Amino acid sequence: MAIAKPIILAVDDDPQVLAAIARDLRQEFSQEYRILRVNSGPEALETIKELHAKEEPLALILADQRMPQLEGVELLTASREFFPDAKRVLLTAYADTEAAVRAINSARLDHYLMKPWDPPEQLLYPTLHDLLAAWQVTNKPRFDGVRLIGFQWSPLSHELKDFLSGYMVGYQWLDYETNPEAQALVKARGFEPTDLPVIICADGKAVANPSKADLANSLGIANQPLQDMYDVVVVGAGPSGLAAAVYGASEGLRTLIIERQTPGGQAGTSSRIENYLGFPTGLSGAELAHRAWTQAVRLGAEFLAPQEVNDLCIQDGYKVLTLSDGREVKTKAVVLTTGVSYRTLDVPGMDRLSGAGVYYGAARTEARSCDEQDVYIVGGGNSAGQAAMYLATYARNVYIVIRGANLAASMSAYLIEQIRNTPNIVLMPFSQIKEVCGQDHLEAVMVDINGTVEKRPARALFVFIGAKPSTEWVCDQVLCDGKGYVLTGRDLVADPRYAQSWKKTREPYLLETCVPGIFSAGDSRAGAMARVASAVGEGSMAIKFVHQYLDE
């Protein structure tokens, strides 16, 4: 959406004078400004109110003094309520100069001009150029994108921020409690605080209490399949799913990828991945996911989000996926890349404060709210280390709470070294969180430090305590191990406990589940490595096996 030009508003009740003003203004300023003209004070005030409601930029008001119903000084004074920074110029005859001089103080007039101003090159344009240049210096252009208005400690506001960030949608966050602009926007659109959060799209459309599906529709993300039958459907858009979609689409397969949240999975929440091949300075998980998503779509893959698969069944050899909205998707082959979800921390207060100071995963969208505050991280893996390094650029102190003596057993050496060299990151060994405290948001944590419990103030708590596979919905169809990870390939025939699950005469392909034509890749597969590179490799390999299956 193109940014609107700032406006110059000319007001005079004499049609001939107004036409002359508009003509001269257009001649000099029309390339950079829009010229509006109004022939009465009351109409001009209504125009100003409309411009304010539409958030249009008003740079300068040029008003004649002697107008019936509403004089120029009165109009310019009233306009301050709506556009306090706009420049105000009064047009006067010689007899009105005394009133104009008084108005410089009473109406905070910026200038007055005598009529007539012929030639305008000497008597009009230099003054207006100076005023407009001064306005441009102080003017803060309206953010011309998606705006999210809500409460800082609202879990739904947090979810929507994460959703927008996950799709790398530029947006402006406005806290209703502390931002007058947010309050004015909500009031101008007829909403109440109980309607928050509110999304205002770039086209001006506003939606109160939007679901993620509403937001996806507003952003143009597809939420329903376009074809009756696919060659392969990829469930999950983490690194393995995105790799499968890229290779499936590039090799001519009718490919659909379904994601219940945002692209990237857990890797997508990482603030910086520094050990992925080909990126010597590292890159964020969101950036990697967005590149892969864009690549898959460019090559012809369809992307469905936010959409969840609730069931999978076999009909006449085809796989039928049932979506959360009841629709069905038919496909010849399926690649399960559902990934894992963070395990919850089972201590008092966690459920109540989740999304209001307590977060699972990196929650990069909340980092700025931690400015010069103390934050806590539970966990000692790479995800925790990457989050600690990112948060340390904002927080006063970052405390890493671990049960063991050090990070050596669970974190990469490069991250341990970075943490050691960051003065505001404090490692707390032999420690664990016992309780989180606060009314409507996190205020403090109870920490057991080697047997001694302390209550410590905290702005935020980020939890990284392992993961569990997101396979609950499919475990009744494909074989999983005792922890819920999907069994594939040789695991199905090498172990006598599972040998009867494979019915075909050929051996299962490397990533194939006990159901022919259903494959599993990435972190939810039994035996997979929890690394982005290996997930990408498995997603790519899965398409090779899909081809072999389809050629049978």
Residues 6+ away with beta carbon under 8 Å from 419:
385, 388, 389, 400, 407, 425, 427
Residues of the chain with pLDDT > 90, as a percent, come to 64
Strands 340-342 and 328-336, sheet pairing: unpaired
pLDDT at 1: 42
What average pLDDT does the segment 111-132 reach? 88
**DSSP 3-state assignment of 378?**
strand
Token representation of residue 477: 């169809």
> How far is residue 39's CA from residue 41's CA, in Å, rounded to a whole number?
7
* CB 87 within 8 Å of CB 131: yes
**23 pLDDT higher than 90:** yes
Find the range with the poorest average confidence among 199-203, 257-261, 305-309, 334-338: 199-203
- Three-state secondary structure readout of 455-502: EEECCEEEECCCEEECCCCCCCCCCECCCCCECCCCHHHHCCCCHHHC
The residues facing 398 across adjacent strands are 375, 425
What average pLDDT does the segment 375-392 reach? 94
What average pLDDT does the segment 386-415 reach? 94
What average pLDDT does the segment 542-550 reach? 97
Average pLDDT, the chain: 90
**DSSP 3-state assignment of 209?**
coil
Token representation of residue 8: 């110059």
341-378 residue pLDDT tens: 888 999 999 999 999 999 988 777 888 889 899 999 99
Residues 6+ away with beta carbon under 8 Å from 362:
269, 270, 271, 383, 386, 387, 390, 462
pLDDT at 105: 62
Token representation of residue 118: 């012929």
- Per CATH, the architecture of 146-219 is what? 3-Layer(aba) Sandwich (3.40)
- Going by the DSSP 8-state scheme, the letter that residue 194 receives in this structure is G
Which of residues 205 and 302 earns the better pLDDT score? Answer: 302
**DSSP 3-state assignment of 54?**
coil
Q: Compute φ and ψ for 149, nearest 5 degrees.
A: -110, 130
> How far is residue 233's CA from residue 254's CA, in Å, rounded to a whole number?
8
pLDDT at 139: 82
Q: Taking Cα atoms as reference points, which of 259, 230, 255, 228 lies closest to residue 244?
A: 255
> How far is residue 474's CA from residue 198's CA, in Å, rounded to a whole number?
36
**Amino acid occupying residue 11:** V
Among 3.40.50.300, 3.40.50.2300, 3.20.20.70, 1.10.10.1100, name the CATH number for the domain at 7-138. 3.40.50.2300
Domain edges within the chain: 7-138, 146-219, 229-341+468-550, 350-465
Give the confidence band of 99 by pLDDT, cuts at 50, 70, 90: low
Give the confidence band of 47 by pLDDT, cuts at 50, 70, 90: very high
Are both 146-219 and 229-341+468-550 of the same fold? no
What average pLDDT does the segment 149-169 reach? 90
Which of residues 55 and 332 earns the better pLDDT score? Answer: 332
What average pLDDT does the segment 383-394 reach? 93
Q: How many CA atoms lie within 13 A of 53 on its CB side?
A: 10
> How far is residue 416's CA from residue 267's CA, in Å, rounded to a whole number?
19
Residues 6+ away with beta carbon under 8 Å from 495:
none
**Amino acid occupying residue 69:** Q
Sign of CA dihedral 269, 181, 59, 45: positive
Q: What's the whole-model pTM score?
A: 0.76
Which of residues 189 and 271 earns the better pLDDT score? Answer: 189
446-491 residue pLDDT tens: 999 999 999 999 999 999 998 899 999 999 999 999 999 999 999 9
422-448 residue pLDDT tens: 999 999 999 999 999 999 999 999 999
Q: Compute φ and ψ for 259, nearest 5 degrees.
A: -130, 130
Q: Which CATH class is domain 229-341+468-550?
A: alpha beta
Helices (H), 325-406: 350-353, 382-391
Cα dist from 169 to 216, 395, 495, 542, whole Å: 11, 25, 47, 30
**421 pLDDT higher than 50:** yes
**2 pLDDT higher than 60:** no
Distance of CA 350 to the CA centre of its chain: 24
Q: Say if domain 350-465 classifies as CATH 3.50.50.60.
A: yes
Find the range with the poorest average confidence among 29-43, 80-94, 185-199: 80-94
